[in-house]
Every structure is written in C-alpha cells, then in structure tokens.
Structure 1
Amino acid sequence: MADREPGRPRVRDVLACVLAVQVVFALTAGAVLIVDPTGLLDHPGAQLLAALLTLMPIVMAGLLAWRFREGHRVEKLRAGDAAQLIDTVLSTSREWLWVVDGQGNFTFSSPTSLGLLGYSPSELVGNHCSLVIDLADLAKAKGVFQGSAQSKGRVVARCRHRDGSAVWMEAVSTARTSGDGQTGGFQGTSRLVQPKTAQEAAAARSRARIRTMIDGGQLLTAFQPIHSLAAGHVIGVEALSRFVGDDGAGPEFWFTEAAAVGLGEDLEFAALHSALKAAQSLPACVYVALNVSPASCLDPRLPRVFKETGVPLDRIVLELTERLEVSEYGPLLAVLKPLRQRGLRVAVDDAGSGFASMRHVLHIRPDIMKLDRSLITGIDDDQGQHALGAALAEFARQIGATLTAEGIETEAELSAVTGLGMTAGQGYFLGRPTVDPVEWATWHDVPHSSPSRDTVSGH
C-alpha cells in the first residue's frame, strides 16, 4: 500500500480537533451560564437558548465520537479482511514474491519459495540471494533491473533448488528507492518458465559460457605419457583438455554441452590449438595424440591448423573418438588420405569394446589401436580377457597396426599386457596427466619398469 501524501491530514486528527473545539465551547458556555455576572440570563427564554447552545456541542461531540468509533471498527474489519486476502494470495499463488535490500539480502519471501526452490521464507530472509541464484545470473539480473529503475525489468535466469538442481525462472522486478532517491534494493515476482523457454535459456547460457571459454583462452592442455612396453621409455603422449572454471565440470561435460548448442567443433578446434601450442614444449622424439571427432576431421579448418602448427605431421596422431555409419567413411577417408601420406597417423579409441568398434577398425585401417580400459582392468587374472587381449595383439600385427593398452593401473596388469606382446601402454601406473612442462621435458628418458612413487600417486 502506498504511503499517504506528506501534509495530508488524517481523518482521525480532524475528528479529534473538532471534538476538542466543541468540548471547549461547551465548557465555556457552561461557565458563562453559571457565573452570569451581568444577569443577562435571568429571562427564561434566554436561559433556554443558552442551555441549547451548551448542549448542542456536547451532543454533536457524542455523535462524532460514536461515528468515529464505528468507522474505526469498520476500518479494522476491512484491514483484517485485506490481510487475510493477502495471506491467501501469497499462500496459493504460483508466483514467488520477494524483496531484497541494497546488499542483496532477502527481507521478504512469500511461501511459494518452498515449493519452487525448497526453502521456506524463514530460511531465505536475512540470507543473500546468491543462495538460490548463480553469481553470473545474479549479475545479469541486477544489470537488467538497474537499467529499468523507472519501470519493470524482466529477465530469465537459472536459479538453484535446495537439492542442487537447476530451476529456470522468469523474474519481473522494480527498484526500491530510499528516502534520498537512491536505489535501495529490488522487489518483484518470479515464476517457473515453460519447458521450451527453459531449454532456450539454458542453451543460450551454455553457448555464452562456452564462447567465453573459447574466446578467452580458458583451456589448458594436460599430457599423459604413453610408454613403449618393449623399450621402457616414453614414445608419445595423449593431449587431454582441462577447463579453467570454478564449477568443477570435467571435459566430457563441456564437450557434450558444446555439441548440444552447436559449438562442438569450435570447442574441439580451440582444444587442438591449445594442444599443438603446448606440444612444442615436448621432447622431439615424442608424438602427440589428439582426440578429434569425425565431424572435425571433415571441417576445412583442420588442414589449416596443421599447416600453421610448428609440430611436424609425423609427430601427430589423430585419435578418432566416435563411430560412423558405413556411408560416412568415404568422405572421412578421402580427407585423411593426403594427410596420412605426409606422415599423419590415425588411432582408433576403445578398440575391442564391441562389434561396432572392430568394424570401425576395418574401415579406418588405423596405424594405432587403443584397447578399451575395460579389457585391461583385471587382465592379469581373467582368462577370458587374457585370451581376447592375445587375439587383438595378433590382429593388430596382421593389419600392420601397433596396439596400445589403456588404463594400466597395477604392476600385474603391466606385466600381463607386456607378456602378450602389446606395443605400448598408458595408465596411472605409468604416469598421470600433467600440465607441467618441466615434467614433460623428462619423458624422453623415463623407463616404465620402475615408475616413481610421485608418478604412481599422481602428485
């Protein structure tokens, strides 16, 4: 409810003044009747007139007092009904009403917050609004609300439920002003948005974050060593992307998210640029394996990337990360053929994990087959896995490919794959991924037979 205008007299004050005047008048008239020093009221008619003049203000004062009392009672009843109606609206509305002060702390919350966000009003009041909204979305919302100080601001933002899940809401707010005209916080309502709107908002948010990562160079490259099982030294590395951020999301999340919003290839090429730039600090005898999707292989930017890099093609291995339909292999092989003729090698990831992976191998005819970790874990004491590993090692020899065992985590697994004649090995037992160029520089002479305690523990 709006405050009363300054200087506007209240009805109660007016009535009080009228009553006071009438009472004073009545008392004065009574005193005159009693004292009457001149004897003017000796006549009966004058006495009657004086009595009427004395009683009339008293009667009027009584009537006004009764009217005031009745008006106050009616006003109280109406206020109670209004308060009850407001409570009903706040309790049953699907929109969440809220107020925050200039510091961003909640000063009011309607009960709807419990159903929408899992927090009761008492849990929100006094706490900062970042409890239920990410800081990035909070900054965006504040910018919209402050920019519309004279009108309503509208924004769709991602809020956070008590259980950690995302809740997309549309907020409409106006700025609250203090007595000196300065902005003193915001008040408004929020409601759930339709699923389609939420999806569009989520996609726009993801697109903006991923674009910021790409344009801002917020990607790092970690290299994990690949050892020759026969000679014992590092022969190559696999480039693994690391993302700079405070949300803790891993590479798989970001690449999946980028693909979903149409930025998958852009993010892959940003990762390629980062990896090839970092690879210039590797020993010259070490090759670098780059994870690339078939879609990125068909992108016209790929040959330009290799042309601009300072790493020779014969030190680069493209590790294909996805399967293809049979009809799609022709264009891929046509693109890779001139690059392979110039020294580029191709690896197939997760070989041996199923029929589709082996069909992939037959179509690509890779230079390197990387065995899926599920085939290596426990290969030292599982007869079936051991037999399959032996068969794949022979298959690789027959097609002229080298075989790399991924996910070696124990000395027994290392001994088993070495005994089967596999060419190379990779895993935490041999070396964890690292972003330290000082450690990269030592890999040309690090044998796998006696990995250091720090290497094994990942420090």
Structure 2
Amino acid sequence: MLAVLSLELVSALSILLPLLFGLEPWSGREVPARLSILASILLLPVLLYAAWRLIRQQRRDRIEASITAGLMDTVLSTTREWLWAIGADGRFTFSSRASRELLGYEPSDLVGRPCTLIIDLADLKTARKPDARAGRAGLVLSARHRGGRRLSIEVVGRRRSEGGGGRSGFEGIARPLADCAAQSPANQEISARLDHLLTTRTLITAFQPIRDLGAGEIVGAEALTRFVSSPFRSPDQWFDEADSIGRGLELEFLALETALLAAADLPAHLYIAVNLSPAACLDPRLCDIVRDSGLKPGRIVVELTERSAVADYVRLAAALAPLRSAGLRIAIDDVGAGFSSMRHILRLSPELIKLDRTVVAGIDNDPNQRALCAAMVSFSSQIGASLVAEGIETNSELATVTELGVNTGQGYFLGRPSVLPADWSHWRQRNRSSTSGNDNCHDT
C-alpha cells in the first residue's frame, strides 16, 4: 500500500509541478491539464485515508495479537492443569509449563519423547473413571514423576486429526488427583491419616550431632522426623504417601515447624540442618516459617533432598536468595549416590556438601572410595564449601576420612540421634579426647 501511495504522489507531483512553472504536464499526451489536476486532487485524499485505515487496522491487529498471546502465556504458566498433545506416533508434540510442578519435566524435556516416559501403556487397561457425581469426564491414571515416584492424575483428552490420510493424535489436560473431587478408597485412607496427624501434630524431632573432625567438637545437629502415630510407618512411608496424593508439602512444613521449635532447646552454638524438597523451597510459606521460628537464619541449614526433581534452577535459586542473604545456608545431601546431586552443586553453589554413606561405608578398605573422597575434598575446597561425611560407623572410617581432609562428619560412631533435650544439653564444645566417639544417645 505504501508503494502504491508513493507512486500516486509521484504521479500527482509530475502533473502539479510543471503547471506551477507554466509548463505542460505529460508532454506528448492529449490529457487535458485540468482533468489531470482534478483527478489527482480527488485521488490523493482517498488513497491517504485508505492507507491510514490500513495502518491503523494493522496496529490494532498487532495489539490484539499481543494481548491474546500474553493472556495465553499467563494461563499456560499459572494454571495447575497440564495441557498436552501427542502425535500419531505416540510422542509429545506440545506441553505446557505445568509439567514442571506436576511431573518434574520441563516442556522441552517432553516434546519429541514418547508418552510412555510418564505413562505405562499397561496402566491404560486399568484406568478408572472418577465418581460420576463429581462431574468429571476423564480417567484416573498412574503417572511416573521424573524423580521416580508414582502419582495419580486425572486426564481428559480427545482425538485430533493431523490430516494426510486420517492420521490422528490426542490432546487434552491433566490435573493432580488432589484437585479431583473423587479419590480412591486407598487415597481417602491416606488423606484421613494425614488429617489426623496434622490436627494432633503427633510427630517429634530427633537430632543427630555433627562434629568437627579436627577438633572433635559438635558444631551442628541434623533434624530427623519421627512419627508416633499409629499405625506405625517409617518416615519415608509417611512422606511418600503424602506425596502420592499431592499433600507432601503439608507434611514437610509440619515437620519443619516441629524441628525448628525443638531446636530452641539445643545449645546456641549449634547449627540446625533440616531436610526439604525443592518444591518446599519454592513455596513462599518457607520464609514465613523461618521468620516465625525465632531462630536466626544463620543457624539454619537447608539440606536439599531428592524426593522431587529440580525443574528450574534459576527459579529455585531466586526463591532461596532472600533467606540466603539473611544467613541461611544450603547443603546438598547424598552426594556420590547419583548425578543429580552433582548438578545441584554446580547450579546452586551450596555452602555444605554431604558425602553419602555409600562413599563412606568401608572407605578404609576401598582405594576407589578413598580416591572419590579425596577428589570431593579438593572440589569442595575449590568452590568454598564445607564437606560433611555421613554415616561414619567405625573408628577406621573416621580415621580415613579425617586423614583425607574431610571437615565434619556424622554417624552412629560420632553420636546417635536423640529425642531427649537432656542429651542435647550435653552437646557443648568438647574435643575428641573427652568423647569416646559414641555418645550414649538414644536412637528412636
């Protein structure tokens, strides 16, 4: 349109300018000058108006497209419902950002990969429909989280045509079962147990001492949750069951509140290590719990656990930044047991690195384990982190890791977990010569 307008302006000026100077326009042509002038005058406003309308409409279209794209991006990034699409070959062709929180996968991790990555085809045969009274039209399926655990999701989908010979795929949404009105009897039983636990708060905290291996003094204590509700279940079972129905954070935060409350009875020079999942670290409630605990953030160490994968390290680092600025420290747990812990170290720059028991057990007799431990000592020193050896259970293991240069350690040989404040009160700064290495603490 602009090119046409420019051509018309040139044509009009080719008529008007010669006339202004008393010359005949378009010499050699028989078009009367007055008719040419009149046509140019009449056409120019029309063309200018048409061009203005076109430009204004294009601007409106761009604004509306931008607003629509922004709204769609907001919906896709904030809704808990995961939008997905699968091609005729069974591979993902689209995934919304909700896959991060639901399954631990970035959208880019799923696109192009088979749907069997998260759903076993055999499970489709046993898929069930929710209670019709709930007004749901989907299927309840068992899905596989990136971290390996299973979770129940409700899926609503439809067939979509891809054209070209009738090939088709599927598209739809999925939501965590916690958002569904109907649950299986087994999940209802789990939910009832959690409701009772959260109401009665029938859990306690055991603390296990962490020692400086050079001086032998106790410098910190790890908080370990113990459940006293019936029926008896191990801590791992409690947390796994809570995760399976989407209520893992509720239990994590109850355990955290209990631990920080009990930590008030620990000697003031000790730091307190608490275990949290990446999802809990992303939750804004964490800052409130730390603030309300009354403990200085400098005494708190968050040990990042592996119950769920880290979908976005930038987001996780940003969520922890205010607490770390206030003095809270980060520890990466179970280092040496898998690659994911090393990725945590590289992306989060922790203040503490905890060497897994699988590296420490029998290290006095295994040159490969000693080589790995020595490498971790050098690595942690270069990044400015303190290395903690977990699960020290013999004097030979203690002597070996100390000789290799490990800063601190914990384990049954250095002190068992205890739930008794009377034991905690004795954890004053003492050198190794005044301790036998196996305090008479009570294991629970």
> Which residue is equivalent to 2:408?
424
Answer 1 or 2: higher relative contact order, Cα 8 Å, separation at least 6.
2
Determine the C-alpha separation between the residues in 2 that align with 1:215 and 1:331: 32
Structure 1 residue 310 and structure 2 residue 272: aligned? no
> Which residue is equivalent to 1:294?
278
> Which residue is equivalent to 1:328?
312
8 Å contact from structure 1 (residues 347, 366) kept in 2: yes
8 Å contact from structure 2 (residues 415, 438) kept in 1: no
- SS of 1:455's equivalent in the other structure is coil
Deviation string, structure 1 residues 223-253 (Cα, Å, up to 9, x no partner): 0000000111110000000111233311010
Determine the C-alpha separation between the residues in 2 that align with 1:317 and 1:406: 15
Structure 1 residue 382 and structure 2 residue 366: aligned? yes
User: Which of 391, 405, 423 is the matching residue for 1:439?
Assistant: 423
Structure 1 residue 359 and structure 2 residue 343: aligned? yes
- Runs of 4+ in structure 1 off by over 6 angstroms are none
Structure 1 residue 402 and structure 2 residue 386: aligned? yes
User: Which of 219, 225, 229 is the matching residue for 2:209?
Assistant: 225
Change (3 A) 1:305 1:402: same
Q: How many residues align?
A: 262
Determine the C-alpha separation between the residues in 1 that align with 2:237 and 2:311: 29
**Shift in Å, 1:355:** 2.4
Q: Which amino acid aligns with 2:386?
A: T
Q: Which amino acid aligns with 1:205?
A: E
> Which residue is equivalent to 2:11?
none
User: Which of 194, 205, 222 is the matching residue for 1:238?
Assistant: 222
> Which residue is equivalent to 1:206?
190
Deviation string, structure 1 residues 366-401 (Cα, Å, up to 9, x no partner): 100000100000001100101110000100000000
Determine the C-alpha separation between the residues in 1 that align with 2:273 and 2:368: 30
Determine the C-alpha separation between the residues in 1 that align with 2:191 and 2:223: 24
Alignment of 1:252-291 (within 5 A): 252-291=236-275
8 Å contact from structure 1 (residues 323, 357) kept in 2: no
Q: Which amino acid aligns with 2:402?
A: T
Q: Which amino acid aligns with 2:277?
A: S
Determine the C-alpha separation between the residues in 2 that align with 1:413 and 1:386: 10
Q: % of aligned pairs identical?
A: 50
TM-score for both structures, normalised by structure 2: 0.57
Change (3 A) 1:454 1:423: closer
- SS of 2:312's equivalent in the other structure is helix
Determine the C-alpha separation between the residues in 2 that align with 1:240 and 1:370: 15
Determine the C-alpha separation between the residues in 2 that align with 1:324 and 1:435: 28
Deviation string, structure 1 residues 50-109 (Cα, Å, up to 9, x no partner): xxxxxxxxxxxxxxxxxxxxxxxxxxxxxxxxxxxxxxxxxxxxxxxxxxxxxxxxxxxx
Deviation string, structure 1 residues 410-449 (Cα, Å, up to 9, x no partner): 0000000111110101000111111000100111234445
Determine the C-alpha separation between the residues in 1 that align with 2:364 and 2:297: 36
Determine the C-alpha separation between the residues in 2 that align with 1:371 and 1:240: 17
Larger Rg: 1
**Shift in Å, 1:215:** 1.5
**Shift in Å, 1:310:** 1.2
User: Which of 352, 356, 372 is the matching residue for 1:372?
Assistant: 356
- SS of 2:350's equivalent in the other structure is coil
8 Å contact from structure 2 (residues 203, 229) kept in 1: no
Q: Structure 2: where are the runs of 5+ without partners?
A: 1-181
Q: Which amino acid aligns with 1:268?
A: E
> Which residue is equivalent to 2:436?
451
> Which residue is equivalent to 2:334?
350
Determine the C-alpha separation between the residues in 2 that align with 1:411 and 1:259: 38
Change (3 A) 1:316 1:456: closer
8 Å contact from structure 1 (residues 227, 424) kept in 2: yes
Deviation string, structure 1 residues 155-194 (Cα, Å, up to 9, x no partner): xxxxxxxxxxxxxxxxxxxxxxxxxxxxxxxxxxxxxxxx
Determine the C-alpha separation between the residues in 2 that align with 1:265 and 1:323: 11
Deviation string, structure 1 residues 1-60 (Cα, Å, up to 9, x no partner): xxxxxxxxxxxxxxxxxxxxxxxxxxxxxxxxxxxxxxxxxxxxxxxxxxxxxxxxxxxx
TM-score for both structures, normalised by structure 1: 0.55
Change (3 A) 1:325 1:274: closer
- SS of 1:232's equivalent in the other structure is coil
Determine the C-alpha separation between the residues in 1 that align with 2:293 and 2:308: 28
Q: Structure 1: where are the runs of 5+ without partners?
A: 1-197
8 Å contact from structure 1 (residues 222, 434) kept in 2: yes
> Which residue is equivalent to 2:111?
none
Determine the C-alpha separation between the residues in 1 that align with 2:223 and 2:400: 26
8 Å contact from structure 1 (residues 405, 424) kept in 2: yes
Determine the C-alpha separation between the residues in 1 that align with 2:223 and 2:326: 21
Deviation string, structure 1 residues 122-147 (Cα, Å, up to 9, x no partner): xxxxxxxxxxxxxxxxxxxxxxxxxx
Change (3 A) 1:453 1:341: closer
Determine the C-alpha separation between the residues in 2 that align with 1:458 and 1:276: 20
> Which residue is equivalent to 2:399?
415
Q: Which amino acid aligns with 2:345?
A: V
Determine the C-alpha separation between the residues in 2 that align with 1:392 and 1:431: 24
